[in-house]
């Protein structure tokens, strides 16, 4: 499996000033800031590139408004990169920047390069339980902000679900981790790795972006980072909560870059021995539990709002 994960994501936005405020609040590391281009990075060097949606150099958008315009996938070596490009054949094009690109069946532009990410080891807080004490003479942490480790996955609405599933599994060699038959497919780049780098959801004739997810250390950082974002005025889409399929804790936020962005941590790690399951597509399989409206940063209590979320199930 030649690809090793998401190496960069490029967004096209309407408001560059708000986008700059958001990526700084989100905890990303500044690389360059200009009126027409922002470049930030996660701890492992995965890039977040933000440009005005009107920039003619951007690839075409697959949906109206602010959205992801390009996903760059990384390969560990030149040999791996060559294998990917060979599998894609004549579909590959090269622009003025000489970066190889294809479009997936959704029309989303994918770029490929030797990965620029570096190894980063998380430092999760281990739990204590009777007879199993991992944290001794140390208090558990309270986070005041998040420092995302990587972009762990992207979730796409598939205008043609069968074509998207076939493209990523057959042409790019992704492995199925779990599946809603005919409705959704969790895919990972490598036989050994996090539960999914890509999740595709069936939405006939309406391709789009469902969300982009950033990996954190543990649930403590998810909660601390989420409270920090709430305190800075960013609106929760849903969270915190926990996914039963990938086991990950999550918190989703509305933002000026695209569809909701997610903080998440503690997902399942899969190997060749992982047994993919078929799941019924229903709300309790999206969230074991979840808080609608988020937590208020001042009171540390649930925000009392009537709205709910059916994320991922419409």
The answer to whether 178 touches 245, Cβ cutoff 8 Å, is yes
Q: Please compute Rg for the chain using Cα positions.
A: 19
Determine phi and psi for 228, rounding to 5 degrees: -65, -45
Shortest CA distance to 244 belongs to which of 180, 191, 172? 180
Could you give the CA distance from residue 287 to residue 283 in angstroms, rounded to a whole number? 6
Alpha carbons 172 and 80: distance in angstroms, whole number: 11
Strand pairing category for 100-103 and 3-13: unpaired
Domains of the chain with bracketed CATH:
3-114 (3.10.180.10), 150-290 (3.10.180.10)
pLDDT at 274 over 50: yes
pLDDT grade, residue 313 (50/70/90)? very low
Residue 100 has pLDDT above 70, yes or no: yes
Confidence at residue 306, expressed as pLDDT on a 0 to 100 scale: 47
Query: What pLDDT, in 10s, does the model give residues 223-253?
Result: 999 999 999 999 999 999 999 999 999 999 9
pTM value surpassing 0.75: yes
* Residues 69, 49 contacting (CB under 8 angstroms): no
The pLDDT of residue 311: 55
Which residue in 104, 278, 301 sits closest to 182, CA to CA? 278
Residue 252: per-residue pLDDT: 98
The β-bridge relationship of strands 175-180 and 184-188 is antiparallel
Determine the 3-state secondary structure of 226 from DSSP.
helix
Mean pLDDT of the chain: 95
Q: How many C-alpha atoms does 27 have within 13 Å on its Cβ side?
A: 26
The answer on pLDDT for 2 being more than 90 is no
Residue 314, pLDDT score: 41
Q: Taking residues 53-59, report their average pLDDT.
A: 97
Reported as a single tens digit per residue, the pLDDT across 275-311 is: 999 999 988 999 999 998 899 999 999 986 545 555 5
Task: Pick 198 or 95 by higher pLDDT.
Answer: 198
What pLDDT is recorded for position 188? 98
pLDDT tens for 124-168 read 999 999 999 999 999 999 999 999 999 999 999 999 999 999 999
pLDDT mean over 27-33: 98
């Amino acid at each position: 499996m030649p690809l090793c994960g998401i190496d960069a994501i490029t967004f096209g936005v309407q408001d560059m000033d708000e986008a700059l405020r958001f990526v700084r609040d989100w905890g990303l590391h500044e690389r360059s800031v200009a009126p027409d281009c922002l470049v930030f990075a996660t701890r492992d060097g995965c890039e977040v590139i933000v440009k005005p949606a009107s920039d003619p150099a951007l690839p075409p958008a697959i949906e109206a408004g602010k959205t992801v315009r390009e996903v760059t996938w990384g390969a560990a070596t030149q040999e791996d990169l060559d294998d990917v490009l060979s599998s894609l054949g004549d579909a590959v094009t090269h622009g003025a920047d000489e970066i190889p690109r294809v479009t997936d069946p959704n029309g989303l532009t994918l770029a490929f390069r030797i990965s620029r990410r570096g190894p980063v080891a998380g430092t999760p807080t281990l739990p204590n339980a009777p007879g199993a004490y991992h944290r001794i003479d140390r208090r558990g942490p309270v986070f005041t902000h998040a420092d995302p480790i990587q972009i762990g996955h992207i979730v796409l609405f598939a205008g043609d679900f069968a074509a998207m599933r076939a493209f990523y599994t057959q042409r790019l060699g992704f492995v199925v981790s779990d599946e809603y038959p005919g409705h959704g497919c969790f895919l990972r780049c490598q036989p050994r790795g996090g539960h999914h780098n890509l999740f595709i959801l069936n939405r006939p004739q309406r391709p789009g972006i469902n969300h982009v997810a950033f990996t954190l250390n543990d649930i403590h950082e998810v909660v601390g980072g989420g409270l920090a974002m709430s305190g800075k005025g960013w609106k929760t889409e849903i969270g915190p909560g926990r996914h039963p399929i990938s086991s990950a804790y999550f918190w989703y936020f509305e933002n000026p870059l695209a569809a909701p962005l997610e903080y998440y941590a503690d997902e399942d790690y899969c190997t060749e021995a992982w047994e993919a399951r078929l799941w019924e597509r229903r709300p309790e399989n999206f969230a074991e539990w979840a808080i609608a409206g988020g937590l208020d940063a001042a009171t540390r209590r649930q925000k009392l709002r009537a709205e709910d979320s059916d994320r991922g199930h419409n």
